[in-house]
Amino acid sequence: MRLDESNANAYLNRGWFFTLKRSPDRALENLDLAERYCKSPRTSAFIKSNRARAQTLLGDLQSALNLANEAIELLPLAEFFCTRAVCYFLMGDHEKALTDLKKSITLDPHELEAYWYKAKILRLRGDESHAMELEQKVVGFEHRFLF
Amino acid sequence: MKPRSPLPWRIRALCRIMMCQPGAVEDADQAVLILPVSQQLLTRSLILTAVARYEEALADCNSAISRNSKNPEAFAIRAILYSKLNRCTEAKDDLEKARALVSNNKISATSAVLHAQSVYESLTGDLDNAI
């Protein structure tokens, strides 16, 4: 097997997996490499969104939000709205988080993470039954979620 | 004048999706209309995946595989689709088929196959292998 050392998407994915492993520094190293080899706005949008996720792990929520905004501006994908929702959620702005989660689910009903965070917010608001109903959609996929 | 070969449509579809421009699905439709072979269907499947139209992408991928069941990339792309649709068992089956085709034909694993494998492993929690 020959490794393609200039494949931006490979670094992008590895960055994401390091984020899932809660190693934001290593994630950002890989995202730097992804950016170096990035040739398209689409990949750039994914890099920004993944950087935002790594920044949330580092606790720099304002940078994360700025990056999520940039990703959405480039490409309004369900997963990017979910990234921004996570920023709002961690900032305590649950109303804006819910708006983005709703948008995310509308754009892609398979975006399980959106259900997960929506359930979290509804639970915080005391709507336990609705929260449990949403959680049923994501049973078995908990490892995907950072918070 | 509209090109009669599917290639320009296919290339423009891929460029449009990477450049975040509209019209990619329509271009991929044209390519399939001109020559509905496995490669055009796979490209349209990728484009439809990129715009989160997974069920239609899956239908195209199934058609592509029914036309050519020896392309490991087709199984890898379907594995990613199944992962997106949270159908992990089917994703795993397709990954095994992709890997078997790579090994039987003694060809290099393409980035699509490796990508599908890492996506699947991340979904099943094996992040070290995914990395």
- In this prediction the pTM is 0.88
Query: How far apart are the CA of B93 and the nearest CA of chain A, in angstroms?
Result: 19
Query: How far apart are the CA of B34 and the nearest CA of chain A, in angstroms?
Result: 27
Token reading at A82: 């979910």
Q: Is the pLDDT of residue A3 over 70?
A: no
- Residues from chain B contacting residue A9 (CB–CB below 8 Å): 111, 115
pLDDT number for residue A101: 98
pLDDT number for residue A16: 92
CB contact A14 to B (< 8 Å) = yes
- Residues from chain A contacting residue B85 (CB–CB below 8 Å): 110
The secondary structure of residue B37, as a DSSP letter, is -
Q: Which amino acid is at A104?
A: S
- Beta strands of chain A (E only): which ranges? none
pLDDT number for residue A82: 97
pLDDT number for residue A1: 46
Q: Are B115 and A13 a contacting pair at CB < 8 A?
A: yes
Per-residue pLDDT band at A142 (split at 50, 70, 90): low
Whole-number Å distance between alpha carbons of A121 and A118: 5
Q: Are A110 and B125 a contacting pair at CB < 8 A?
A: no
**What angle (nearest 5°) sits at the alpha carbon of residue A22, between those of residues A19 and A28?**
45
Average pLDDT of chain B, as a whole number: 88
Residue spans of chain B under pLDDT 50:
none
In this predicted model, what pLDDT tens digit does every residue of A63-114 receive, in sequence order?
999 999 999 999 999 999 999 999 999 999 999 999 999 999 999 999 999 9
Q: Is the pLDDT of residue A47 over 90?
A: yes
CB contact B18 to A (< 8 Å) = yes
Q: Is the pLDDT of residue A2 over 60?
A: no
Query: How far apart are the CA of B17 and the nearest CA of chain A, in angstroms?
Result: 7
